[in-house]
Amino acid sequence: MKISILQALVLLYFLATLGFGFYRRSGKDVSSFLFAGRRLTIPALIATLVSTWYGGILEIGRFSYENGIVTWIIFGVFYYIAALLFLKFIAPKIIESNIPTIPELFQRSFGKWPALIAIICVILMTTPAPYLKILADLFNHVWDISKFVALLLGAGLSLTYAFTGGFSAVVRTDKLQFVLMFMGFALILSASYFQYGGIEFLKTNTPDYAFQIPGNFNWTFIFVWGFIALITFIDPGFYQRTFSGNS
């Protein structure tokens, strides 16, 4: 059976991901398995946050295509402001409190039932369903296998290295994906520029509002998205990664 270049590249990516994931087993204690022993460094923190926080890429691509540069405000500026506020005011409190999870914080502050509600909310917020769907679509496109089988395969691979290496394995694979993400952005940008041209090509082939702010939206709609970005304050991924550092 012949393997195309695309199939070889995707296969190489998954083998590299598994290699990073299985590189080292996690310690058996809770701190090592869930929080990498609380030894997460700043570069690792940045890499793992970027790799996990930059979700919804397909939707952002569609939104940018249809609405133009106002997307940078809606899905960019607001979220970076929220992240900076989190870094300034919330992250130090998480480290000082020594409370590892949001549900445990609720239990200590409000009791058992609010903690159970917090658990349900965390599960809903962190569901990997969109990412598994994208992974299944990728498998389906590259190898032409059914999406159900692709879904099981993708979930199985991810769970295997996560259960083996714990959060440290997730961080290692996130570092790899961080590098590949920006390499991919650079390749796509350069290829698009040389094949189609730069800003002038875009202005010629897009609606007028694509390069205007607020574009075809009103400011009320845009600022509503600004409040939605504040969900960063209760993002379990941010909480876990912040707690995994010790300073």
pTM reported for the whole predicted model: 0.81
> What per-residue string of b and e applies to 17-32 under the rule 16 or more CB within 10 Å gives b?
bbebbeeeebeeeebb
User: What pLDDT does 142 receive?
Assistant: 83
Quick check: 212 pLDDT over 80?
yes
Chain segment 113-138, per-residue pLDDT in tens: 999 999 998 888 887 777 788 788 88
pLDDT at 57: 64
Position 32 pLDDT exceeds 70: yes
pLDDT (0 to 100) of residue 51: 82
91-95, 161-165, 194-198: lowest mean pLDDT where?
161-165
Average pLDDT taken over every residue of the chain:
85
Q: Which residue has the higher pLDDT, 33 or 120?
A: 120
Higher pLDDT, 189 or 62: 189
| Residue 33 pLDDT grade (very low, low, confident, very high; cuts 50, 70, 90) | confident
pLDDT at 85 over 90: yes
**Confidence (pLDDT) at 27:** 66
Token digits for 159? 């769970």
What is the reported pLDDT for 58? Answer: 63
Domains of the chain, by residue range, sit at 26-243
The conformational region for residue 68 under phi > 0 = left, psi -120 to 50 = alpha, else beta, is: left
Asked whether 85 and 234 are in contact (CB, 8 A), the reply is no
The Cα 247–Cα 93 span in angstroms is: 11
* CA–CA distance, 4 with 8 (Å, rounded to integer): 6
Q: Is the pLDDT of residue 247 over 70?
A: no
Q: How far is residue 84's CA from residue 7's CA, in Å, rounded to a whole number?
A: 39
Are 136 and 117 within 8 A, CB to CB? no
Question: Which is more confidently placed, 24 or 218?
Answer: 218
Can you give the pLDDT at residue 56? 63
Q: Which residue has the tokens 């929220």?
A: 82
Query: Per-residue confidence at 40, pLDDT binned at 50, 70, 90?
Result: confident
The band of 38, judged by pLDDT with boundaries at 50, 70 and 90, is confident
Q: What is residue 205's predicted lDDT score, i.e. its pLDDT?
A: 87
- What's the confidence (pLDDT) of residue 115? 92
